Chain A
Amino acid sequence: MTDVMMPDQQELVPAGRDAWRMFLRNRAAVAGLIMFFGILFMTFFGPMLYDEDPNDIVARPFLEPGTEGAPAMGTDYLGRDVLAGVINGGSTTLTVAAIAAVMIVAIGVTIGALAGFYGGTVDTVLMRFTEFFQVLPALLFAMVVVTLFEPSARTISIAIGLVLWPSLARLTRAEFLRLRNLEFVKAARAIGSTDLRIISRVIFPNALPPLIVSTTLVMGAAILFEAGLAFLGLGDPNTLSWGLMIGLNRGNFLNAWWTVTFPGLAIFITVLSFSLIGDGLQDAFNPKLRGR
Chain B
Amino acid sequence: MTGVDTTPSTPASGAEDRTPLVVVDDLCKVFPVADRAKIHAVEHVSLQVDRGETLAVVGESGCGKSTLAHLIIRLLDPTGGRIVLDGADITDLSARAMRPHRQKMQIVFQDPFASLDPRRTVGRAVGEPLRVHKVASGNELEERVANLFERVGLERQHARQFPHQFSGGQRQRICIARALALEPELVIADEAVSALDVSIQAQVINLMMDLQAEMGLSYLFISHDLAVVERISHRVAVMYLGQIVELGPRSAIFENPQHSYTKRLLEAVPIADPRRRHHRPLLTDEIPSPRWGPGEAPERVELAEVEPGHFVGVEAPTG
B2 to chain A, nearest CB (A): 28
Chain B residues whose C-beta falls within 8 Å of the C-beta of A41 in the assembled complex: none
Is B92 close to A, CB under 8 A?
no
A189 near B75 with CB under 8 A, answer yes
Bitwise, B103-123 to A at CB < 8 A (1) or not (0) is 100110111001111111101
Contact, CB under 8 Å: A186 / B75: yes
Chain B residue nearest to A184 (CB atoms) is B117
Q: Which of B111, B119, B145, B146 contacts A183 (CB 8 A)?
A: B111
Interface string of A1-13 (1 = CB under 8 A from B): 0111110000110
Q: Is the CB of A202 within 8 A of B127?
A: no
Q: Known contacts being A5-B142, A186-B109, is A192 close to B99, with CB within 8 Å? A: yes
Name the one of A5, A183, A193, A206 contacting B132, with C-beta atoms under 8 angstroms: A193
Nearest opposing residue in chain B for A182, CB measure = B114
The total of Cβ contacts below 8 Å across the A-B interface reads 85
A15 to B124 CA separation, bound complex (whole angstroms): 16
When chains A and B are docked, how far (Å) is the Cα of A12 from the Cα of B182? Answer: 26
A187 at the interface (CB under 8 A from B): yes
Determine if A66 is an interface residue (Cβ-Cβ < 8 Å): no
The one of A4, A12, A194, A205 in contact with B146, judged by C-beta atoms closer than 8 angstroms, is: A4
Size of interface on A: residues with Cβ below 8 Å to B: 26
Total number of B residues with any Cβ neighbor in A under 8 Å? 39
Q: Report chain B residues within 8 Å CB of A186.
A: 75, 107, 109, 115
Residues of chain A lying within 8 A (CB to CB) of residue B116: 184, 187
B128 at the interface (CB under 8 A from A): yes
User: Which of the residues A11, A184, A188, A192 comes within 8 Å of B114, measured between beta carbons?
Assistant: A184
Q: Which B residues have a C-beta under 8 Å from some C-beta of A?
A: 73, 75, 95, 98-99, 102-103, 106-107, 109-111, 114-121, 123-125, 127-129, 132-133, 141-142, 145-146, 156, 159-160, 162, 175, 178, 182
Interface pairs (15), CB distance under 8 Å? A3-B160, A5-B123, A5-B141, A11-B120, A11-B124, A14-B162, A184-B117, A187-B107, A190-B107, A191-B133, A192-B99, A192-B133, A193-B128, A195-B95, A202-B117
